[in-house]
C-alpha cells in the first residue's frame, strides 16, 4: 500500500516537472511549428545556472535562483531564435538539425564549465520536513513542485485565453498568413513566445533541481519525456501538455519501479502507436 | 529593410493616388502568374478587379498584401513603396484585407477576431472601433462570445470585413466577398460595400460577380492570364458589354 501511495505522489511530482518542461516546448511548436530539440538542453543549463547561483551567493534562495536562471535562459533563447532559427523558418529539417546541434554544444559547454560531477540543488530548509499524506511521509518539496506546475498551467491558460496577446498567438496558430495580413507582428510574437518557452524551461531546471540535481546528461534524460508528453497530449495544446505530463509521470515512475528493464518500452511503445494511429494526440487539433 | 521614405512623395503622380502597381511580376513557385500588372487607384474610389478564374486576381491581392512578394515591379501606397515589406508591416501602413474564403480565426471568438486586428489609429477622424463594427453588423454583437468557426457563412463574411476595418485601412482589398453566399446575403454585402465607399473608404473589389462589382465601381481592371487587358472607368464597361463578354465569358454579369 505504501509503495503505491508513495509512487503515486512521485508520479505527480515528475508530472509537474514534465509539464514545466513540455509546456514551453508545446507553446513554441504550436505557434512556430518548430520542434526545438534544444529544449532539454535549455532545461539543463537552467539547472546548472541555478545550482551555481545557489552555491556562490548565500542571499539567493531557490525561488530567486529559478527566476534569474529563467530570465537568463529566456534571453539566450531569444538570441538563438533571432540569430539562427528565424533564418530556417521554412526549413523544418534544418530546424531539427540546428536545434539538435545547439543542444550538443550546450551539453559540451556545461561539461566544460561545470565538470562531470552532479551539482546538488539544496531544498529550501523550510520544505525539508516531510509532509504526511494519509499517514505516509512524503517530501514536502515535491508537493510544492506540483503546485507550481498547476499555477504555471493556470497562468499560461489565462495568458493564452484571456489576453489580447494570447488571442494574437492563437490567431497565429490558426492561420499564420492571415494573422500577418491583419497586422499582427508575428515575428515579434515568435521571439516573445520562444523566450517565454525557453524561460519556463530554464526556471523548471532549477525547480526540478532538488529532485533531479544538475548533472551531465540531464538534457538527454528529459527531452524524450517532453517529446512523448506533447505527442500524447497533442502538439500545441496546453491542456494536452498538462494531462500528458501527469500520464507520462505515472507511466514512467511505475514503469521504472515495477519493470525497470522495460521502462523505455512502456514509455515509447504507446508513443509509436499514437504517432501511427492517432497523430493528433489526446487534445490536439489536426493541422489544416 | 524599410525603403526610405524621403522622396516617396515625389513619385506620386496624383496627389490623391492611393494605390499604384507598376509592372508587377509575381510567381507561385515556378509558375509566372502576374506578368507585368500595372494600375492605379484614386483615394476614395472603388476599383473592380475582374477576370476569369486563374487570371491572377487573388495573386494580385496576395502581392499587394505581401504574402506573395512580387519578384519585379513596385507597389506604392500613397507614394510609399510597400512591395518588399513584410505582410504585417504592409498591413500597418494601411492595407486591409478581406481574403478569399474569409479566413476568420476559427478558434477565436467573434470579439477576439476583431480585437487582434485592432491597430493604432491612423490620421482618420472617425477610427473604427469594436463598437462601430458592431453598429454596422449587429449580428456580430449578438454573437460576440461565439467561436468564429461556428458562425454562418454570411456572418463569417461580416466578421472578415469588420476585422479588416479594425485596422483602419487606407485601402481595403476585398477578395470575392460574395463567394458562396445566398443571394440575400450577397445583397447585404453589396450594401455594406456601397456604404463603405460612400463613407470615403478606398476599395479594391475582386469579384466573379461582375455585375455586383461594376454597379459599385468607379474604375475597373480586367486581368487575363496575368496581364491587364482593360484599365478604365467602370462606366465604360457598363456601357459596352462586349468588353465584358470578350474577357470574362458570356455567362458573367447575369447572375
* pTM of the predicted structure, to 2 decimals: 0.86
For residue A153, being part of any structural domain is answered with yes
- Spatial separation of the C-alpha atoms in residues A185 and B225, rounded to whole Å: 33
Q: How far is B16 from chain A (nearest CA, A)?
A: 24
Host H or E run for residue A184: none
For residue A265, being part of any structural domain is answered with no
pLDDT for A139 equals: 86
How confident is chain A (288 residues) per 10-residue block, as mean pLDDT? 87 95 92 91 97 94 97 97 91 94 96 95 89 79 94 95 93 92 92 96 96 94 92 87 94 92 88 86 64
A186–chain B Cβ distance below 8 A for any pair: yes
Residue A143: all three cell numbers together? 508537493
- Per-residue burial over A17-45, b if 16 or more Cβ lie within 10 Å, else e, is bbbbbbbbbbbbbbbbbbbbbbbbbbbbb
User: DSSP code of B4?
Assistant: P
B220 beta partners:
B48, B232
Q: What is the dihedral of CA B8, B11, B15, B17, to 10 degrees?
A: -100
Q: How far is A213 from chain B (nearest CA, A)?
A: 40
Calculate the average pLDDT of chain B.
89
- Report CB contact under 8 Å: B105, A179: yes
Q: How far is A179 from chain B (nearest CA, A)?
A: 8
For residue A17, being part of any structural domain is answered with yes
Check if the beta carbon of residue B43 is closer than 8 Å to that of residue B17: yes
Set of chain B residues whose Cβ sits within 8 Å of the Cβ of A161: none
Residue of B nearest to A288 (CA): B106
Per-domain residue ranges of chain B: 1-93+211-249
- SS3 label, residue A93: helix
Check if the beta carbon of residue B94 is closer than 8 Å to that of residue B169: yes
A89–chain B Cβ distance below 8 A for any pair: no
Angle, helices A2-32 vs A164-174, to 10°: value is 70
Set of chain A residues whose Cβ sits within 8 Å of the Cβ of B2: none
How many C-beta atoms surround the C-beta of residue B215 within 10 A? Answer: 14
- Spatial separation of the C-alpha atoms in residues A59 and B102, rounded to whole Å: 57
Number of structural domains (chain A) is: 1
**CA triple A254-A256-A259, angle to 5 deg:** 90
pLDDT for B14 equals: 53
Task: Please name the member of A174, A180, A285 whose beta carbon is closest to the beta carbon of B88.
Answer: A180
Q: Which of A181, A187, A188, A284 to mutate to test the interface with B (most CBs of B within 10 A)?
A: A181
Residue A113: all three cell numbers together? 564549465
Set of chain A residues whose Cβ sits within 8 Å of the Cβ of B166: 182
Mention every residue, 6+ apart, whose C-beta is less than 8 A from residue A112: none
B27 beta partners:
B32
Domain range holding A26? 2-218
Question: Among A278-282, B121-125, B167-171, B246-250, which range has the highest average pLDDT?
Answer: B167-171
- SS3 label, residue A213: coil
Express each pLDDT in B101-142 by its tens digit: 999 999 899 999 999 999 876 666 778 999 999 999 999 999
- Spatial separation of the C-alpha atoms in residues A55 and A50, rounded to whole Å: 9
- Span B1-93+211-249: which CATH code? 3.40.50.300
B219-224 and B46-51 strand pairing: parallel
Task: Please name the member of A164, A181, A186 whose beta carbon is closest to the beta carbon of B115.
Answer: A164
For residue A172, being part of any structural domain is answered with yes
Long-range pairs of B180-184 with CB within 8 A, sequence gap ≥ 24: B180/B153, B181/B153, B181/B154, B181/B157, B182/B154
Express each pLDDT in A49-75 by its tens digit: 999 999 999 999 999 999 999 999 999
For residue A249, being part of any structural domain is answered with no
> How many helices (DSSP H) and strands (DSSP E) are in chain A?
12, 2
Amino acid at each position: 500500500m505504501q509503495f503505491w501511495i508513495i509512487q503515486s505522489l512521485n508520479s505527480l511530482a515528475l508530472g509537474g516537472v514534465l509539464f514545466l518542461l513540455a509546456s514551453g516546448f508545446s507553446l513554441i511548436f504550436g505557434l512556430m511549428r518548430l520542434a526545438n530539440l534544444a529544449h532539454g538542453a535549455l532545461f539543463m543549463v537552467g539547472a546548472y545556472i541555478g545550482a551555481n547561483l545557489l552555491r556562490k551567493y548565500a542571499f539567493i534562495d531557490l525561488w530567486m535562483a529559478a527566476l534569474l536562471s529563467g530570465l537568463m535562459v529566456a534571453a539566450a533563447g531569444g538570441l538563438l531564435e533571432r540569430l539562427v532559427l528565424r533564418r530556417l523558418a521554412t526549413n523544418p529539417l534544418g530546424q531539427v538539425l540546428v536545434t539538435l546541434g545547439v543542444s550538443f554544444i550546450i551539453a559540451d559547454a556545461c561539461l566544460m564549465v561545470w565538470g562531470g560531477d552532479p551539482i546538488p540543488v539544496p531544498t529550501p530548509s523550510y520544505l525539508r520536513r516531510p509532509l504526511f499524506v494519509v499517514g505516509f511521509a512524503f517530501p514536502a518539496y515535491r508537493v510544492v513542485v506540483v503546485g507550481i506546475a498547476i499555477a504555471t498551467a493556470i497562468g499560461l491558460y489565462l495568458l493564452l485565453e484571456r489576453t489580447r496577446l494570447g488571442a494574437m498567438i492563437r490567431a497565429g496558430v490558426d492561420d499564420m498568413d492571415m494573422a500577418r495580413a491583419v497586422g499582427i507582428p508575428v515575428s515579434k510574437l515568435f521571439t516573445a513566445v520562444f523566450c517565454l518557452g525557453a524561460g519556463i524551461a530554464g526556471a523548471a531546471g532549477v525547480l526540478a533541481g532538488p529532485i533531479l540535481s544538475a548533472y551531465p546528461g540531464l538534457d538527454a534524460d528529459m527531452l524524450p519525456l517532453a517529446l512523448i508528453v506533447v505527442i500524447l497530449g497533442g502538439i500545441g495544446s496546453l491542456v494536452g501538455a498538462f494531462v500528458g505530463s501527469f500520464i507520462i509521470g505515472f507511466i514512467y515512475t511505475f514503469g521504472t519501479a515495477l519493470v525497470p528493464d522495460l521502462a523505455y518500452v512502456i514509455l515509447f511503445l504507446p508513443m509509436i502507436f499514437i504517432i501511427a494511429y492517432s497523430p493528433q494526440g489526446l487534445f490536439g487539433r489536426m493541422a489544416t | 529593410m524599410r525603403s526610405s521614405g524621403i522622396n516617396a512623395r515625389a513619385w506620386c503622380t496624383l496627389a490623391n493616388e492611393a494605390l499604384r502597381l507598376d509592372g508587377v511580376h509575381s510567381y507561385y513557385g515556378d509558375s509566372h502568374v502576374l506578368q507585368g500588372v500595372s494600375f492605379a487607384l484614386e483615394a476614395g474610389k472603388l476599383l473592380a478587379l475582374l477576370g476569369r478564374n486563374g487570371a491572377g486576381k487573388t495573386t494580385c491581392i496576395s502581392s499587394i498584401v505581401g504574402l506573395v512578394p512580387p519578384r519585379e515591379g513596385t507597389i506604392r501606397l500613397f507614394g510609399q513603396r510597400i512591395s518588399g515589406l513584410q505582410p504585417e508591416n504592409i498591413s500597418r501602413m494601411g492595407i486591409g484585407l478581406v481574403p478569399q474564403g474569409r479566413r476568420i480565426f476559427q478558434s477565436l471568438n467573434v470579439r477576439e477576431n476583431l480585437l487582434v486586428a485592432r491597430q493604432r489609429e491612423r490620421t482618420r477622424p472617425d477610427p473604427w472601433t469594436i463598437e462601430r463594427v458592431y453598429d454596422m453588423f449587429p449580428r456580430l454583437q449578438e454573437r460576440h462570445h461565439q467561436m468564429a468557426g461556428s458562425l454562418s457563412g454570411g456572418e463569417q463574411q461580416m466578421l472578415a470585413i469588420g476585422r479588416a476595418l479594425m485596422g483602419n485601412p487606407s485601402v481595403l482589398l476585398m477578395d470575392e466577398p460574395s463567394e458562396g453566399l445566398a443571394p440575400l446575403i450577397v445583397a447585404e454585402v453589396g450594401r455594406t460595400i456601397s456604404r463603405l465607399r460612400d463613407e470615403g473608404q478606398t476599395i479594391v473589389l475582386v469579384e466573379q460577380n461582375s455585375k455586383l462589382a461594376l454597379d459599385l465601381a468607379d474604375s475597373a481592371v480586367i486581368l487575363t492570364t496575368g496581364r491587364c487587358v482593360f484599365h478604365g472607368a467602370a462606366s465604360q464597361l457598363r456601357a459596352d458589354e462586349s468588353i465584358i463578354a470578350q474577357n470574362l465569358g458570356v455567362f458573367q454579369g447575369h447572375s
